[in-house]
Structure 1
């Protein structure tokens, strides 16, 4: 489902989620429970933290 909706393998999302957890989302103003319930909010959080970018309707990981 995630792969179809966002055009990215689940493994990539999992890696991003782990990275976001390391960035202490709650301290940055994100509601942890709310994000966990709705994966699209992980995408929003990843975008705000510069971990994702949108390219031609597909999501691409951004590496520092």
Structure 2
């Protein structure tokens, strides 16, 4: 039997710029605001036109 004492690793976050108004984590945001999202969230936002598909990767690094 094994026990896990450490938390699961957090996914890498990518900073994106909103192309239009959007609510993120319950907070209303406007076009031009920056948020940090996972790669899956970024793909969803791009698909729905919430962020531009031509953004630079500005993740922490």
TM over 0.5: no
Higher fraction of helix? 1
Q: RCO higher in 1 or 2 (8 Å CA, sep ≥ 6)?
A: 2
Higher fraction of strand? 2
TM-score (norm 1): 0.31
TM-score (norm 2): 0.32
